[in-house]
Structures are given as C-alpha cells and as structure tokens.
Amino acid sequence: MDLQDAEAYIRRVTRRSSTRDALAWLSEERAVSQPIDLPNLLASLLTIEDQAPVADVQGLAGRVIRQVCRAEVVSELDPSQELLALDEVLRPAQYRAALDTLAARTATRTLTSVTLAAVIAAQQDDRNVVTALCAAAGLSYRDLRARVRGASVPTDLCGKWKNDQLKAVFDVIDAVITGRVTASSPAAQPARPVEHLLPEIDDEPGRQRGWALVEQMRAHGVPYEILLTQRAVGSAWVAHRSSTGKKVQAAVTASLCELLDERPVPYRRLAMDGASRELLTRVGANPAAAAENGRNEGGQLAVLVHSPTVTHAVAVSVARDGGTARKSGARLGTLPARLGIACSVVLVGPGWAERNTTAELARPFDGRIYTERTVAELADALAAMVAEGGGVIPTGQDSGAQPVELVIDPLEVRS
C-alpha cells in the first residue's frame, strides 16, 4: 500500500477532509464507518507512520495504532469462563468404580490397607485406577511424572502400565497421602490435598489420617465444607482448563477451516509433523523456525493456504490475561520473519486487548490481525488473495526464499 492510498482510506472511514484530521478523529475514538476492516485500517496506519513527510503525523499514526488495537482486537472467547471437551472429564461414578475396584483387591477390602500389589491388580481391571489415585493425592499427571524418579511412565494416564512404572508412581502417591513428604523450608508445608493437610493445622482430635481418611471419605462421603475449601485453594476447573488449553486453538482453527472449505480455498491444516515441515519447505518457508506444536511461537501455526500464486500461513494464539499476551506476543511477532512467508494471526482471549503487545504485532503481520469473531473476514481475505492470484504475498522481510509454483493435488487440500 502506498501513502496516497493509505491516506485516502483513513479519510474515507472517518469522513474527514485531511489526513491529520482523520488521525485526530481516530485518536479521539469517535465514530467511524462500520464495519471496520481492521487489517486494512492497520495497514494504512502503518504506511502513514512509515511514509508521512511530517514527524508529528507519523507519531500520531503510531498512537492511533495502539488505540485501534485496544478498541478493535476484542475477543469474546474467554477460556476462564468457557469450557471445552467436557466429554473428557472423568465422571464421579468412574472415580467411585475405580476406588471400589482397588479396595476389593486389598486384604481388608478397604483402602486402609492399599498396597502396590493391589494397585497392579486393580489397574488391570480398571484403567482409571491410577487417575483416581492421582486425584486422591491432589496431583496432576504432569506433577506426578515430574516427581517420579528412576522410571519412565506412560504419556497416557489411562494407557498400559508396567509393574515397575506402577511402583514408581505409587511410591510418590503413597508418600503424599501418608504424609512422608517434606518441605524445603521450615516456613513452608509440603503440598498435599487440603483434607490431609488442614487437619494437621487445625489439630482435630480423632481425625483419621492417610489412607484411613481416604477410606473414610470413600465409604461415607466428603463433607461439603471440604469441597468448598478445595475449590478455594485449587479453583474450579483449573486442572481441566490447563489440560484442554490447546483445544481452544483447535476449535478456532476448525472454524476457520470450515469457512475455507465453503469458499473454497486450497489449504492444509498444519500439525508441525514431518508432513507439515515438508510442505512448508516445498512452498519456500523455513519450517525449522516453527517449533513443534507451535510451543515456542507464542501461538500455534495452524493453517497454510497455498496455490500456484499464493502462499500464506495463519497462526492462532490464546491469551487469557495481559501477562500471557505479553509473553506470547514477543515470540509471535517474529514469526513472519522467521518463517519467511506472509502470515495472518488470530488472537483469542481477553488478554490481547489489555496490552500494547497487540499493537506491536500489527507491523510484522502487516495489519492482518483477527479474532475468533472475525475469522469469516479472514476467510474472505484469503479467498480474495487466491482469486486475484496476486503471487506470494510479501512479508516485508528478505527471507531469501524464492516463490515456488505448486501443482495442487485436490486430494491433498484437506484440513
């Protein structure tokens, strides 16, 4: 976009007669023509910031970019208020069945006499036994794996277990429940479930301890006040949200893919596996710059649109709060230059509207910033790119990669 086009665009959306008045109008957050084409508006402001002959106009354009991003890059999908993959949550009846299976394998038919042999036998009959024991010890599977010493454990909690693996995890769980864990400082308490830890503080007379307390609650139920205390210290749904965080990105990506199918736009959904890396190499990108599963990108490299004349990647990034946006944005902003091809980004979560980090993404992504509310506009833009056959879209960076012409196999263009 040249300066003349950029100035004409912001004058048109603000209905002002001069560029300076248009920028002032935007800086005062006054009404503009709706709906706003955010990528076009940001691209225009970036051009003015770079090319305007007057320094104060350049500075005003830069301030407006930050204001526009705060006002317009607003995501309504808040991972702290919405839940995904409820079908993956183990039901209370399944926990009950797993603990009952374990109790049935002990000498006393209760959990007061849990042994490794009982755990091994029970896990063979009910694959949720280790899951239930993790919950009883107040450990996420990630925490449990970090504490295991001298043995590797399955990546799937409900997968196949060897006896030595079960011994390693049972040693950790048993130590937590029976209180054989220590803190590194006299001022601290070792982390244990509240029902085991708080009685030590309250010094309740006659209160059961260890596995006897687990058995008591299995047989007679958990007092509601204990449930409320657990919620207060652990927060509702926090573990489930942590385990399903990437599903937010997957859901947004799936929505985009459906829209691209409707247009139709040739694309591939990226998994950063061998096939995805090979495809990125074929189109002149640098797959080594994209970390596996997008883990170090500050977001997930989700989709590659490719035709004989267009190569364009889409990243999706989720930020529940401003801190996450700041951390993710620093890495995400370097993605187009590192990857070596043009990119758009879909920002999800309320954190992006809280930070100037969002405005800092406008330049590397050439203004192509969207949210889950505007993925249809992104799909339209990508369809227009392909229809116009504008060639490989420049990133503004000299990546050294040469455009390549692909022969698209219709069977290959799938999500």
51 pLDDT more than 90: yes
d(CA 44, CA 64): 11
Copy the structure tokens of residue 59: 């500075």
Please state the rounded mean pLDDT for residues 85-112: 92
The answer on pLDDT for 88 being more than 60 is: yes
The string of pLDDT tens digits covering residues 10-30 is: 999 999 999 999 999 999 888
Res 6: pLDDT: 93
Query: Would you say residue 407 has pLDDT above 50?
Result: no
- For the segment 38-47, the average pLDDT, to the nearest whole number, is 94
Residue bearing the bigger pLDDT, 257 or 152: 257
Instruction: Compute how many other C-beta atoms are within 10 angstroms of the C-beta atom of residue 249.
Output: 20
CA-CA distance, 186 to 40, in Å (whole number)?
A: 59
Question: Does 203 have pLDDT greater than 80?
Answer: no
- pLDDT tens, position by position, 99-143: 999 999 999 999 999 999 999 999 999 999 999 999 999 888 888
Residues 6+ apart with CB under 8 A from 353: 69, 70, 73, 74, 75
Preceding amide of 205 cis, omega within 30:
no
Question: By the 8 A CB rule, do 379 and 368 touch?
Answer: no
According to DSSP, the residues that pair with 306 across neighbouring strands are 311
What pLDDT sits at residue 36? 82
- Let me know: does 172 contact 133? Beta carbons within 8 Å: no
In the chain, % of residues over pLDDT 70: 86
**pLDDT at 245 (0 to 100):** 63
Query: pTM of the predicted model, to two decimals?
Result: 0.69
Instruction: Say which residue, 243 or 392, is predicted with more confidence.
Output: 243
Least confident piece of the model among 77-86, 87-96, 283-292, 391-400: 391-400
pLDDT greater at residue 287 or residue 396: 287
Domain architecture of the chain: domains with CATH: 3-72 (no CATH), 86-241 (no CATH), 244-388 (3.40.1350)
C-alpha radius of gyration, the chain, whole number: 27
Within 10 Å of residue 287's Cβ, how many Cβ atoms?
Answer: 19
Q: Which residues lie below 8 Å from residue 410, measured CB to CB, with a gap of 6+?
A: none
**Average pLDDT, stretch 170-196?**
89
pLDDT tens-digit profile of 258-305?
A: 999 999 999 999 887 788 888 888 888 887 765 544 444 456 789 999
How many residues would you count in the chain?
A: 415
Cα 212 to the chain's mean position, in Å? 40
- pLDDT for the residue 412: 34
267 and 305 in contact (C-beta within 8 Å)? yes
First to last CA, the chain: 32
Residue 399 pLDDT > 60: no
pLDDT reading at 390 higher than 90: no
Task: Return mean pLDDT, the chain.
Answer: 83
Q: Provide the token pair at 99.
A: 């603990």
Average pLDDT (371-384) is 93
- Which of 349, 345, 351, 348 is CA-nearest to residue 333? 345
pLDDT higher at 246 or 6: 6
